[in-house]
Chains A and B, each alone.
Chain A
Amino acid sequence: MSGNSTPEPSLKGTPLKRSHLFFFLPAVVFLAVAIVVAWFMMSGRDPQAIPSALLDRPAPAFSLPALAGLDQGFSRADLVGQVTVVNVFASWCTPCLAEHPSIMQLSKTPGVRVFGLNYKNKDDQALAWLKRHGNPYARIGADRDGRVAIEWGVYGVPETFIVDRTGVICFKKVGPVTPQVLSEQILPLVKALRDKDCRTLKAGQG
Protein backbone atom coordinates (compact mmCIF):
# COMPACT_ATOMS: atom_id res chain seq x y z
CA MET A 1 0.00 0.00 0.00
CA SER A 2 2.61 2.46 0.99
CA GLY A 3 4.84 1.05 -1.67
CA ASN A 4 2.78 2.89 -4.22
CA SER A 5 5.01 5.23 -6.15
CA THR A 6 2.51 8.07 -6.54
CA PRO A 7 2.16 9.63 -3.12
CA GLU A 8 -1.39 9.94 -1.88
CA PRO A 9 -2.16 13.47 -0.77
CA SER A 10 -1.98 12.67 2.91
CA LEU A 11 -3.81 14.44 5.75
CA LYS A 12 -0.55 14.82 7.59
CA GLY A 13 0.62 17.71 5.48
CA THR A 14 -2.59 19.68 5.53
CA PRO A 15 -2.91 21.78 8.61
CA LEU A 16 -5.96 21.08 10.75
CA LYS A 17 -8.50 23.62 9.66
CA ARG A 18 -9.40 26.21 12.24
CA SER A 19 -13.07 25.33 12.00
CA HIS A 20 -12.26 21.76 12.98
CA LEU A 21 -11.00 23.00 16.32
CA PHE A 22 -14.53 24.17 17.02
CA PHE A 23 -15.64 20.56 17.18
CA PHE A 24 -13.76 20.27 20.44
CA LEU A 25 -15.42 23.32 21.92
CA PRO A 26 -18.41 21.50 23.47
CA ALA A 27 -16.11 18.93 25.05
CA VAL A 28 -13.85 21.64 26.45
CA VAL A 29 -16.80 23.61 27.82
CA PHE A 30 -18.27 20.48 29.35
CA LEU A 31 -14.98 19.60 30.97
CA ALA A 32 -14.63 23.10 32.40
CA VAL A 33 -18.14 23.00 33.86
CA ALA A 34 -17.55 19.52 35.24
CA ILE A 35 -14.36 20.63 36.96
CA VAL A 36 -16.03 23.65 38.54
CA VAL A 37 -18.99 21.58 39.74
CA ALA A 38 -16.72 18.85 41.08
CA TRP A 39 -14.66 21.44 42.92
CA PHE A 40 -17.76 22.86 44.59
CA MET A 41 -18.94 19.39 45.55
CA MET A 42 -15.59 18.37 47.00
CA SER A 43 -15.16 21.59 48.95
CA GLY A 44 -17.77 20.36 51.40
CA ARG A 45 -19.56 23.68 51.28
CA ASP A 46 -23.23 23.40 52.13
CA PRO A 47 -25.10 25.35 49.47
CA GLN A 48 -28.10 25.64 51.76
CA ALA A 49 -26.13 27.21 54.57
CA ILE A 50 -27.04 30.86 54.71
CA PRO A 51 -24.25 33.34 55.33
CA SER A 52 -25.10 35.29 58.44
CA ALA A 53 -25.84 38.95 58.00
CA LEU A 54 -24.78 39.52 61.59
CA LEU A 55 -21.23 38.23 61.30
CA ASP A 56 -18.63 40.75 62.47
CA ARG A 57 -21.37 42.99 63.81
CA PRO A 58 -22.34 43.67 67.39
CA ALA A 59 -24.87 41.23 68.77
CA PRO A 60 -28.44 42.51 68.52
CA ALA A 61 -30.13 44.21 71.43
CA PHE A 62 -32.26 41.78 73.38
CA SER A 63 -33.14 40.68 76.85
CA LEU A 64 -34.19 37.18 77.78
CA PRO A 65 -35.80 36.09 81.03
CA ALA A 66 -34.55 33.04 82.90
CA LEU A 67 -36.23 29.68 82.60
CA ALA A 68 -38.76 29.25 85.40
CA GLY A 69 -36.84 28.00 88.41
CA LEU A 70 -33.43 29.25 87.34
CA ASP A 71 -32.19 32.65 88.38
CA GLN A 72 -30.37 34.24 85.45
CA GLY A 73 -31.47 35.04 81.97
CA PHE A 74 -29.24 37.24 79.88
CA SER A 75 -29.24 40.31 77.69
CA ARG A 76 -26.89 42.00 75.25
CA ALA A 77 -25.02 43.74 78.08
CA ASP A 78 -24.12 40.39 79.66
CA LEU A 79 -22.18 39.35 76.57
CA VAL A 80 -19.55 42.03 76.99
CA GLY A 81 -16.34 41.40 78.92
CA GLN A 82 -15.61 37.77 78.19
CA VAL A 83 -15.70 35.44 75.21
CA THR A 84 -19.16 33.90 75.08
CA VAL A 85 -20.58 31.08 73.07
CA VAL A 86 -24.31 31.46 72.55
CA ASN A 87 -25.90 28.14 71.75
CA VAL A 88 -29.49 27.99 70.51
CA PHE A 89 -31.12 24.81 71.73
CA ALA A 90 -34.42 23.14 72.54
CA SER A 91 -35.38 19.89 74.17
CA TRP A 92 -37.44 18.90 71.12
CA CYS A 93 -34.46 19.30 68.82
CA THR A 94 -32.71 16.01 68.10
CA PRO A 95 -29.50 17.45 66.62
CA CYS A 96 -29.18 19.46 69.84
CA LEU A 97 -28.87 16.20 71.72
CA ALA A 98 -26.28 15.05 69.18
CA GLU A 99 -24.14 18.13 69.78
CA HIS A 100 -24.68 18.12 73.52
CA PRO A 101 -21.39 16.34 74.38
CA SER A 102 -19.48 18.96 72.36
CA ILE A 103 -21.24 21.78 74.20
CA MET A 104 -20.47 20.10 77.51
CA GLN A 105 -16.82 19.85 76.57
CA LEU A 106 -16.79 23.47 75.45
CA SER A 107 -18.26 24.59 78.77
CA LYS A 108 -15.30 23.04 80.58
CA THR A 109 -12.81 24.97 78.45
CA PRO A 110 -11.17 27.78 80.44
CA GLY A 111 -11.65 31.36 79.28
CA VAL A 112 -15.02 30.88 77.69
CA ARG A 113 -18.57 30.67 78.96
CA VAL A 114 -21.53 29.13 77.25
CA PHE A 115 -24.95 30.77 77.30
CA GLY A 116 -28.02 28.87 76.18
CA LEU A 117 -30.80 30.42 74.15
CA ASN A 118 -33.72 28.10 74.76
CA TYR A 119 -35.80 28.31 71.62
CA LYS A 120 -39.58 27.81 71.67
CA ASN A 121 -39.48 25.34 74.47
CA LYS A 122 -41.72 24.72 77.45
CA ASP A 123 -39.72 25.64 80.56
CA ASP A 124 -40.33 22.37 82.38
CA GLN A 125 -39.37 20.33 79.32
CA ALA A 126 -36.17 22.30 78.87
CA LEU A 127 -35.29 21.84 82.53
CA ALA A 128 -36.01 18.13 82.41
CA TRP A 129 -33.81 17.78 79.35
CA LEU A 130 -30.94 19.61 81.07
CA LYS A 131 -31.35 17.54 84.20
CA ARG A 132 -31.19 14.35 82.22
CA HIS A 133 -28.29 15.19 79.91
CA GLY A 134 -26.36 17.76 81.92
CA ASN A 135 -26.36 21.54 81.89
CA PRO A 136 -23.41 23.17 80.11
CA TYR A 137 -24.88 26.68 80.30
CA ALA A 138 -23.68 29.43 82.62
CA ARG A 139 -26.92 31.25 81.86
CA ILE A 140 -30.04 30.31 79.98
CA GLY A 141 -32.45 32.73 78.35
CA ALA A 142 -35.95 31.55 77.61
CA ASP A 143 -36.99 32.63 74.13
CA ARG A 144 -40.51 31.30 74.40
CA ASP A 145 -41.94 32.83 71.24
CA GLY A 146 -38.71 32.70 69.21
CA ARG A 147 -38.64 36.44 68.77
CA VAL A 148 -35.12 37.01 70.07
CA ALA A 149 -33.84 34.17 67.89
CA ILE A 150 -35.13 36.12 64.89
CA GLU A 151 -33.09 39.11 66.08
CA TRP A 152 -30.10 36.79 65.93
CA GLY A 153 -30.99 35.61 62.43
CA VAL A 154 -31.63 32.08 63.62
CA TYR A 155 -33.44 29.88 61.13
CA GLY A 156 -32.86 26.41 62.44
CA VAL A 157 -31.93 24.90 65.76
CA PRO A 158 -29.24 24.26 66.82
CA GLU A 159 -27.17 27.30 65.97
CA THR A 160 -24.02 28.38 67.73
CA PHE A 161 -22.50 31.85 67.86
CA ILE A 162 -19.15 32.97 69.19
CA VAL A 163 -19.23 36.48 70.61
CA ASP A 164 -15.99 38.28 71.40
CA ARG A 165 -15.27 40.31 74.53
CA THR A 166 -16.65 43.47 72.94
CA GLY A 167 -19.95 41.84 72.07
CA VAL A 168 -19.25 41.33 68.35
CA ILE A 169 -20.47 38.14 66.70
CA CYS A 170 -17.37 36.50 65.26
CA PHE A 171 -18.57 33.11 64.11
CA LYS A 172 -21.76 31.25 63.45
CA LYS A 173 -22.42 27.58 62.99
CA VAL A 174 -25.78 26.37 61.77
CA GLY A 175 -26.50 22.78 62.69
CA PRO A 176 -24.92 20.55 65.30
CA VAL A 177 -21.43 21.23 66.61
CA THR A 178 -19.64 18.02 65.75
CA PRO A 179 -16.39 17.09 67.53
CA GLN A 180 -14.63 18.13 64.34
CA VAL A 181 -16.25 21.57 64.23
CA LEU A 182 -15.45 21.95 67.91
CA SER A 183 -11.78 21.07 67.65
CA GLU A 184 -11.05 22.63 64.27
CA GLN A 185 -13.11 25.80 64.34
CA ILE A 186 -14.62 26.68 67.67
CA LEU A 187 -11.85 25.93 70.15
CA PRO A 188 -9.07 27.64 68.16
CA LEU A 189 -11.21 30.73 67.63
CA VAL A 190 -12.29 30.89 71.25
CA LYS A 191 -8.68 30.63 72.31
CA ALA A 192 -7.61 33.36 69.90
CA LEU A 193 -10.42 35.64 71.04
CA ARG A 194 -9.32 35.52 74.66
CA ASP A 195 -6.82 38.28 74.14
CA LYS A 196 -7.82 39.81 70.83
CA ASP A 197 -11.14 41.07 69.65
CA CYS A 198 -12.78 39.75 66.54
CA ARG A 199 -11.97 42.67 64.24
CA THR A 200 -8.26 42.83 65.01
CA LEU A 201 -8.05 39.06 64.74
CA LYS A 202 -9.63 38.98 61.30
CA ALA A 203 -7.72 42.04 60.13
CA GLY A 204 -4.51 40.27 61.20
CA GLN A 205 -5.41 37.21 59.15
CA GLY A 206 -6.57 39.10 56.09
Chain B
Amino acid sequence: MRGLLILIAAFAIVWPAFALEPGEALKDPALERRAREISKELRCLVCQNQSIDDSDAPLARDLRRIVRERLAKGDSNRQVVMYITARYGDFVLLRPPVKPVTWLLWFGPPLLFLIGAGGLVWRMRRRRRARQTAPEPLSDAEKRKLRRLEQPEGGET
Protein backbone atom coordinates (compact mmCIF):
# COMPACT_ATOMS: atom_id res chain seq x y z
CA MET B 1 0.00 0.00 0.00
CA ARG B 2 2.71 2.37 1.02
CA GLY B 3 4.71 1.40 -2.05
CA LEU B 4 1.74 2.19 -4.23
CA LEU B 5 1.36 5.61 -2.63
CA ILE B 6 5.01 6.35 -3.27
CA LEU B 7 4.60 5.26 -6.86
CA ILE B 8 1.60 7.55 -7.33
CA ALA B 9 3.48 10.41 -5.69
CA ALA B 10 6.39 9.78 -8.02
CA PHE B 11 4.13 10.16 -11.02
CA ALA B 12 2.52 13.26 -9.56
CA ILE B 13 5.77 15.20 -9.37
CA VAL B 14 6.79 15.13 -12.97
CA TRP B 15 8.61 18.20 -14.22
CA PRO B 16 7.42 19.72 -17.44
CA ALA B 17 9.82 18.44 -20.06
CA PHE B 18 11.69 20.99 -22.09
CA ALA B 19 14.77 20.81 -24.20
CA LEU B 20 16.84 23.50 -22.53
CA GLU B 21 20.30 22.25 -21.77
CA PRO B 22 22.29 23.17 -18.68
CA GLY B 23 24.30 26.29 -19.35
CA GLU B 24 21.82 27.65 -21.86
CA ALA B 25 19.66 29.52 -19.39
CA LEU B 26 20.32 33.19 -18.70
CA LYS B 27 21.33 34.19 -15.19
CA ASP B 28 18.74 36.92 -14.95
CA PRO B 29 15.46 35.11 -14.16
CA ALA B 30 13.31 37.86 -15.70
CA LEU B 31 15.22 37.72 -18.97
CA GLU B 32 15.19 33.94 -18.91
CA ARG B 33 11.44 33.97 -18.45
CA ARG B 34 11.09 36.22 -21.50
CA ALA B 35 13.40 33.96 -23.46
CA ARG B 36 11.22 30.97 -22.64
CA GLU B 37 8.10 32.89 -23.62
CA ILE B 38 9.58 33.81 -27.00
CA SER B 39 10.95 30.32 -27.58
CA LYS B 40 7.50 28.82 -27.10
CA GLU B 41 6.18 30.95 -29.94
CA LEU B 42 8.86 30.02 -32.43
CA ARG B 43 8.64 26.97 -34.61
CA CYS B 44 11.53 24.60 -34.83
CA LEU B 45 12.20 24.53 -38.57
CA VAL B 46 13.61 21.04 -38.53
CA CYS B 47 10.75 19.28 -36.78
CA GLN B 48 8.14 21.88 -37.79
CA ASN B 49 5.48 20.96 -35.26
CA GLN B 50 7.48 21.68 -32.17
CA SER B 51 8.52 24.98 -30.73
CA ILE B 52 12.22 25.66 -30.37
CA ASP B 53 11.58 25.52 -26.64
CA ASP B 54 10.52 21.88 -26.97
CA SER B 55 12.90 20.72 -29.62
CA ASP B 56 16.20 18.99 -29.24
CA ALA B 57 17.29 19.72 -32.80
CA PRO B 58 20.65 21.50 -33.07
CA LEU B 59 19.13 24.34 -35.06
CA ALA B 60 16.53 24.86 -32.33
CA ARG B 61 19.34 25.07 -29.80
CA ASP B 62 21.12 27.64 -31.94
CA LEU B 63 17.97 29.70 -32.23
CA ARG B 64 17.37 29.52 -28.48
CA ARG B 65 20.88 30.80 -28.00
CA ILE B 66 20.28 33.66 -30.42
CA VAL B 67 17.05 34.59 -28.65
CA ARG B 68 18.98 34.81 -25.38
CA GLU B 69 21.84 36.73 -26.93
CA ARG B 70 19.52 39.33 -28.34
CA LEU B 71 17.63 39.67 -25.06
CA ALA B 72 20.88 40.09 -23.18
CA LYS B 73 21.81 42.86 -25.62
CA GLY B 74 18.62 44.67 -24.65
CA ASP B 75 16.23 43.80 -27.50
CA SER B 76 12.52 43.84 -26.78
CA ASN B 77 10.54 40.63 -27.28
CA ARG B 78 9.18 42.07 -30.51
CA GLN B 79 12.62 42.91 -31.82
CA VAL B 80 13.85 39.39 -31.09
CA VAL B 81 10.92 37.86 -32.95
CA MET B 82 11.46 40.26 -35.85
CA TYR B 83 15.11 39.28 -36.02
CA ILE B 84 14.09 35.65 -36.50
CA THR B 85 11.22 36.30 -38.93
CA ALA B 86 13.48 38.48 -41.08
CA ARG B 87 15.51 35.33 -41.74
CA TYR B 88 12.93 32.57 -41.68
CA GLY B 89 9.69 34.34 -42.56
CA ASP B 90 6.31 34.18 -40.84
CA PHE B 91 6.51 30.43 -41.03
CA VAL B 92 8.56 30.33 -37.82
CA LEU B 93 5.72 31.86 -35.88
CA LEU B 94 3.59 29.14 -34.36
CA ARG B 95 0.86 31.74 -34.14
CA PRO B 96 0.65 33.20 -37.64
CA PRO B 97 0.00 36.95 -37.86
CA VAL B 98 -3.43 38.13 -38.98
CA LYS B 99 -3.06 39.61 -42.47
CA PRO B 100 -4.95 39.21 -45.77
CA VAL B 101 -3.15 35.99 -46.75
CA THR B 102 -3.98 34.39 -43.41
CA TRP B 103 -7.57 35.59 -43.17
CA LEU B 104 -8.91 32.27 -44.37
CA LEU B 105 -6.81 30.50 -41.76
CA TRP B 106 -8.03 32.68 -38.92
CA PHE B 107 -11.61 33.37 -39.91
CA GLY B 108 -12.37 30.23 -41.94
CA PRO B 109 -13.35 27.99 -39.03
CA PRO B 110 -15.65 30.53 -37.30
CA LEU B 111 -17.14 31.34 -40.70
CA LEU B 112 -17.87 27.67 -41.39
CA PHE B 113 -19.37 27.38 -37.93
CA LEU B 114 -21.64 30.36 -38.55
CA ILE B 115 -22.76 28.98 -41.91
CA GLY B 116 -23.53 25.61 -40.33
CA ALA B 117 -25.33 27.08 -37.34
CA GLY B 118 -27.27 29.47 -39.56
CA GLY B 119 -28.37 26.63 -41.83
CA LEU B 120 -29.46 24.58 -38.87
CA VAL B 121 -31.51 27.38 -37.34
CA TRP B 122 -33.11 28.12 -40.72
CA ARG B 123 -34.12 24.49 -41.20
CA MET B 124 -35.49 24.11 -37.71
CA ARG B 125 -37.59 27.23 -38.09
CA ARG B 126 -38.95 26.06 -41.41
CA ARG B 127 -39.85 22.70 -39.99
CA ARG B 128 -41.63 24.24 -37.03
CA ARG B 129 -43.57 26.55 -39.31
CA ALA B 130 -44.52 23.61 -41.50
CA ARG B 131 -45.83 21.76 -38.47
CA GLN B 132 -47.91 24.72 -37.32
CA THR B 133 -49.71 25.35 -40.58
CA ALA B 134 -52.58 22.97 -41.32
CA PRO B 135 -51.97 20.60 -44.21
CA GLU B 136 -53.61 21.55 -47.50
CA PRO B 137 -56.85 19.73 -48.30
CA LEU B 138 -56.57 16.87 -50.79
CA SER B 139 -56.99 17.71 -54.44
CA ASP B 140 -59.69 16.00 -56.51
CA ALA B 141 -57.19 13.63 -58.09
CA GLU B 142 -55.82 12.67 -54.70
CA LYS B 143 -59.31 12.09 -53.33
CA ARG B 144 -60.08 9.81 -56.26
CA LYS B 145 -56.87 7.87 -55.71
CA LEU B 146 -57.60 7.49 -52.01
CA ARG B 147 -61.07 6.18 -52.73
CA ARG B 148 -59.65 3.67 -55.15
CA LEU B 149 -57.11 2.46 -52.64
CA GLU B 150 -59.75 2.10 -49.98
CA GLN B 151 -61.90 -0.15 -52.13
CA PRO B 152 -61.71 -3.85 -51.36
CA GLU B 153 -59.52 -6.06 -53.56
CA GLY B 154 -61.02 -6.83 -56.94
CA GLY B 155 -63.64 -4.13 -56.67
CA GLU B 156 -61.90 -2.10 -59.29
CA THR B 157 -63.70 -0.76 -62.36
Q: Find out whether the CB atom of B88 lies under 8 angstroms from the CB atom of A53.
A: yes
Main secondary structure of the interface of B (DSSP, over half): helix
Q: Is B59 an interface residue (CB 8 A)?
A: yes
Segment from A65-73, A101-109, A147-155, A193-201 that makes contact with B: A147-155
Query: How many CB-defined contacts (below 8 Å) exist between A and B?
Result: 41
Across the interface, A153 reaches (CB within 8 A) one of B46, B66, B88, B145, namely: B88
Q: Find out whether the CB atom of A53 lies under 8 angstroms from the CB atom of B46.
A: no
> Can you name the residue of chain A whose Cβ is closest to the Cβ of B148?
A6
Q: Is A52 an interface residue (CB 8 A)?
A: yes
Q: Closest CB-CB distance, A88 to chain B, in whole Å?
A: 12
Q: Closest CB-CB distance, B139 to chain A, in whole Å?
A: 10
Across the interface, B87 reaches (CB within 8 A) one of A53, A145, A146, namely: A53
A9: chain B residues at CB < 8 Å are 141, 145
Q: Closest CB-CB distance, B102 to chain A, in whole Å?
A: 13
Interface footprint category on A? 10 to 19
Q: A50-B45, A50-B91, A51-B91 in contact; A155/B59 too (CB < 8 A)?
A: yes
Q: A9-B141, A150-B63 in contact; A155/B58 too (CB < 8 A)?
A: no
Q: Find out whether the CB atom of A54 lies under 8 angstroms from the CB atom of B87.
A: yes
Q: Find out whether the CB atom of B46 lies under 8 angstroms from the CB atom of A155.
A: yes
From 14 to 62 in chain B, residues with beta carbon under 8 angstroms from any chain A beta carbon are 45-46, 48, 58-59, 62
Q: Find out whether the CB atom of B59 lies under 8 angstroms from the CB atom of A53.
A: no
Chain B, residues 75-106, CB within 8 Å of chain A (1/0): the string is 00000000001111111000000000000000
Q: Find out whether the CB atom of B87 lies under 8 angstroms from the CB atom of A151.
A: yes
B87: chain A residues at CB < 8 Å are 53-54, 60, 150-153
From 3 to 17 in chain A, residues with beta carbon under 8 angstroms from any chain B beta carbon are 6, 9
Across the interface, B58 reaches (CB within 8 A) one of A51, A53, A146, A152, namely: A146
Chain A, residues 72-91, CB within 8 Å of chain B (1/0): the string is 00000000000000000000
Interchain residue pairs A-B with the least CB separation, the first 8: A53-B89, A155-B45, A153-B87, A50-B91, A153-B88, A146-B62, A155-B59, A53-B88
Q: Which residue numbers of B lie inside 8 Å of A, CB to CB?
A: 45-46, 48, 58-59, 62-63, 66, 85-91, 141, 145, 148
12 A–B pairs (Cβ distance < 8 Å), ordered by A = A52-B89, A53-B86, A54-B87, A146-B58, A146-B59, A150-B63, A150-B66, A151-B87, A153-B87, A155-B88, A156-B45, A156-B46
